[in-house]
Structure 1
Amino acid sequence: MTKVLITGATGMLGQYALAAAKAEGYDIITFGRPQNDLNNIETIAPFIAQIKPSIVLHLAAQTDVDLCERDPALAARINVLATREVAKATTMVGGWLGYVSTSNVFGAKEQTVYNELDLPDPVNYYGRSKFWGEQMVIQYAPHNHLIVRAGWMIGGGASKDHKFVGKIIAQIRNGASQILAVDDKQGSITAAENLARFLLASAKRGRIGLFHFASKGTVTRFQIACEIAKSLGYSGVVRGVRSNIFPLSAPRATSEGIESIFLSDAAEDIYIGSWNEDLQKYISQF
C-alpha cells in the first residue's frame, strides 16, 4: 500500500488532504503535534527515513503573517529550515514531494495579477520565508517536487473556519447591523478542498514543477463580504473601508492576485471555477 505522509494534517488544508487520501485508500502517516513538531527540526529527517513514504504533502507552515513579521526567526525556522529537512529526507527515501506555497511571494511590483513566469517580490517576512521555502524544495528535491502557490484559502466549514469567510458568516448569524471589509487590497481565493484533490491527483500522476492554483478572477474582501451577504439574505450594511483602519504588524501587498499559465484547460475545468462560483459552493456547506 502506498504510504502518504502529511504534515499539518490538523490544519484546514490538511483535513481535506487527509479525507482525500483516505478516499484513495492510502496508508496515511501524519507529522505534527503532539508526536512531532516542525520546531524540532532535528526530528524531521529521521522520522521520514524511518517510515519511507512514497508521497509527502508538506502542508504545515507558520501562516500567521503578522507573527512572522514580529518574529522572522520563527518564520525562518518553520517555513525555511524545516522545509529544507523535509525536502532532503523525501529525496533520500525516493519519495514525491508536494509543497504548498502562497501568493504572498508577490506584491512589491504592484501588478494586479501574477503568473508562474513573474519573479517573486514579497513585501513581508511571511512571503519571504515561503519563497525561501520554495528554494529549499528546488535545491534539495530537484527532480521530485511539485510547488503549488495558493491564494487566500477558504475552507473548514462551520465548526473550523476562523478565517475571513467564517468571520463574516458569524457576524451575519449573530445579527450584526454593519459589516466592515477592506476594499483597497485584492487577491485570489483558493478553495482548500479543491487544492487537496489537486495535490492527491498530482501525486498519483507524478506531476512536477511550479503551478498557481486559485479561482479565476481577482477580488477584494469587500466583494467577498458582499457575495456572502447576498447569499445569506443579509439585511444589514456591508461597508468597504480602507485597510489602514486595521493596524497590522506586517505590510500587505496591494494585490496578491494569481493565475496559472501552465495548468491545462481540462485541469482548470475539474478543479477551478470563478471566484464567486467557488465561494458560493463553499458557503453552501454552512
Structure 2
Amino acid sequence: MIKKAIIPAAGYGTRSLPISKVIPKEMFPIGIKPAIQYVVEEAIESGIEQILMVVSRSKNLIVDYFDHSLELEAFLERKNKMHLMDAPNIPDIQIHYTRQPIAKGLGDAIRLGKSFVNDEPFAVLLPDDIILHKHSPSLKQLIDVFTKYKESVIGLQTVDEKYLNQYGVIKGKKHSNDTYRLTDIVEKPKINPPSQLAVIGRYVFTPMIFEQLDKIKRGIGGEYQLTDGMKALLQSENIYGKLIEGQRYDIGSMDDYMKLLNFVYSNMKNG
C-alpha cells in the first residue's frame, strides 16, 4: 500500500564537522557501503517502489553514487572485472531528486515532496538513523500499523530523560503493547517532557500532513518543524506511535557511529 518514500538529505551535517564540509554524512562508510544505502535498502525491504531524495547543491556525491558510471563500467568490462560492480549491489529502485535551496528545517524538506506523493500515503526515512533489525525492517513495522488503522504512524524509542531535549517527545494513550495514540507532541522539551517516548526517524503519513506543513510558521531554531505539522494534524486525524523493534544508531553521534562500525566490522569478520 505504501509505495513512495521521501528521504530528506539536504542538511548541513553540523554535528559531523569538519568532515561533513566535503563528505555528506549520508555517505559516511559503514563497512563497504555508505550509510544512505542502508536506508534505501530498508525502504526496498519494506515494499517501497519510488524514492524522492531531497538534497542540496553540496550533496552531489549522493546523486553520483546511485547513478551509473558508464566510463567505469566500460573500463571494468575491458579488464574482465565486472564482478567488482556486484559487491555491494547498488539498490535497483527508481530514485528522484529535488533540491532544498536553503536548509529551512525538516518540515520544509518534506513539503517539497507534495507533487511527488500525489495525494497518496507515503513514508519518510531520515538518513541519520540506521536501524538494524532481526525480523522486520523498522519502516515495515510502521507500514503494518498503517495498514491496520489507515492513519499516520511514527516510530518511537524509549529514551533516557536527560536526552529528551534532543528529540520530539510524545504524549499518548497506550493502544496496545507497543502502540500509542498520540494526544500531543513537543519538539525538544527543555523541561517537563510529556513522556520518555521519543520520535525517531521513521514515519508514515497520510497526504493531509502537507495541508498542515503549508500552514506552519518557523519554530525552534527558526526552522519549519515537522513536529509542528504533526501537532496541527492531531486536530483533525489520529496519529499512532509504534515502538520500533531494532537497534538504532544515530550516525550524527560519534559514539553511535563508532558502535555501528564496530558491530558491522565484527559481523563481517565472523561472517
Q: Whose strand proportion is higher, 1 or 2?
A: 2
TM-score by shorter chain over 0.5: no
With CA pairs under 8 Å and 6+ residues apart, which has the higher RCO, 1 or 2? 2
Question: TM-score normalised to the size of structure 2?
Answer: 0.31
With the length of structure 1 as denominator, give the TM-score of the two structures. 0.30
Higher helix share: 1
